Amino acid sequence: MKSLSERDQKHLWHPLTQHQTAAPPLAIVKARGALLFDKEGKAYIDGIASWYTAIYGHCNPHVTDAIARQMQELDFVMFSGFTHEPAIELSERLMQVLPENQAKIFFNDNGSTAVEAAIKMALQYYHNKGERRDTLIAFEDGFHGDTFGAMSASGLSSYNGPFEDFLLKVERIPIPQPDTMDEVLEQLERILNHNPCATFVFEPLVQGAAGMKFHDAQGLDLLIQKCHEHDVLCIADEIMTGFGKTGKNFAVDYLTHKPDIICLSKALTAGMFPLSITSCSQKVFDAFLSDEVTKGFFHAHTFSAHPLGCAAAIAGLDLLQSDEIVERRIAIGKHHQDFVTQVKNHKKVKEARTIGVILAIDLAVETNRYGKLRDELYRFFMDRGVNLRPLGNTVYVLPPYVITEAQLQKIYATILEALDHF
């Protein structure tokens, strides 16, 4: 009989994959807590929580039970003309944790579409007011997803090269650091003065796909303040950072100036269901109220506010705020800090940094984003039962909060072994 990997090769086309050269993917048959299992029963520690989604652990019973219960009552109903309790309750629960200026929740079904809706909201906000504003502002090397609006805001050209001629108008600024802040502010001011800017889209504090690059909260605060002085709407893409990864519930909790629009997905449903939200302030929502039907927001995805996803998200919020998970988040953060202290002077380490449960180590070796080193590192870790997906020469760890002490120590030990090996 053919293996799953062999059957996979016949009809499947995988994301982010050059099929001519890529190794066949590994079939995973089961997942529990921080572990993934292949068919032979070999376990892999999910050191990146399956792209930052499964933060309460795989198959967490509190979440699977909530989904199972919901499935018996209401599987799905369209969200246009209908509503349901899971969506209502989720909106109420999110309002308790989101910044105070957030007032409305719009549902989508994945991260890219959350950003797409946010950008469309910002563009139509000015259109409804009779103003034409067509320029986005975004950070260099940001990542916001793979639909056209989201791609436009993204600066990682290895993803977007073939589409560059078809994207929205965007002006880019570097991420703010204490020593470059004045320059970045000046650059932003010039852009704001010379372009009809609609919105500033950013990943707050940590740029995930860029290689877990950190920037300065105070600096970001100043950029948001400057945008607000020019009446430009600010969109925080918290799809990676949301739900406790930076230490606080959301990265924008570190800011004084709050974004007008926030995008959430990935860990929103505890990693169990594709669902996303775009939240916004009352001011944004009010710009769509009119006697003219066409001033409404005519954007929809079939599976908007899917009840199973909402049930998973509500269960996820229970866990996020539970004593057990809060304690684990703090403990992981402390271990990361100790590990940074341990490796930062290692001769193979260019920089090691951590915030919350995110740990990133830039190796002192030159490579490009999808270079050979990355593949070799990936194999090295997987051979030792650890799933880490380095980005270029950056090895990062973003474990499920339920990871055990022993599993976390195994990840660190394997990284140390890799530092000596490469």
Ligand X SMILES: *Cc1c(COP(=O)(O)O)cnc(C)c1O
* Contact positions vs ligand X (CB under 6 A): 110-112, 115, 143-145, 203, 208, 237, 239-240, 265-266
The position carrying tokens 């930062």 is 344
Per-residue tokens: 226? 């400057």
Pairing of the two strands 35-38 and 43-46? antiparallel
C-alpha distance from residue 100 to each of 14, 103, 280, 313 (Å): 40, 8, 11, 20
One DSSP character per residue, 315-378 reads HHHHHHTSHHHHHHHHHHHHHHHHHHHHHTTSTTEEEEEEETTEEEEEESS---TT-HHHHHHH
Burial class of residue 193 in the structure, from the number of CB atoms within 10 Å of its CB (0-12 exposed, 13-18 middle, 19+ buried): exposed
Per-residue tokens: 379? 């194999």
Q: Shortest gap between Cβ of 404 and ligand X (angstroms)?
A: 26
Nearer to ligand X, 110 or 407 (CB): 110
Nearer to ligand X, 239 or 287 (CB): 239
Q: Shortest gap between Cβ of 346 and ligand X (angstroms)?
A: 28
Q: Shortest gap between Cβ of 149 and ligand X (angstroms)?
A: 11
Nearer to ligand X, 173 or 287 (CB): 173
Closest CA to 113 of 296, 304, 291: 304
Q: Phi then psi for 315, rounded to 5 degrees?
A: -60, -40
Nearer to ligand X, 239 or 349 (CB): 239
Q: Shortest gap between Cβ of 94 and ligand X (angstroms)?
A: 18
Which residue has the CB atom at the shortest distance from ligand X?
Answer: 111
Q: Shortest gap between Cβ of 203 and ligand X (angstroms)?
A: 5
Closest CA to 421 of 373, 362, 389, 360: 373
Nearer to ligand X, 145 or 399 (CB): 145
Q: Shortest gap between Cβ of 207 and ligand X (angstroms)?
A: 8
Contacts of 402 (CB under 8 A, 6+ apart): 33, 34, 56, 57, 60, 325, 328
Q: Shortest gap between Cβ of 110 and ligand X (angstroms)?
A: 4
Nearer to ligand X, 206 or 287 (CB): 206
DSSP state of 24: P
- Report the C-alpha gap between 343 and 350 in whole angstroms: 10
Nearer to ligand X, 143 or 243 (CB): 143
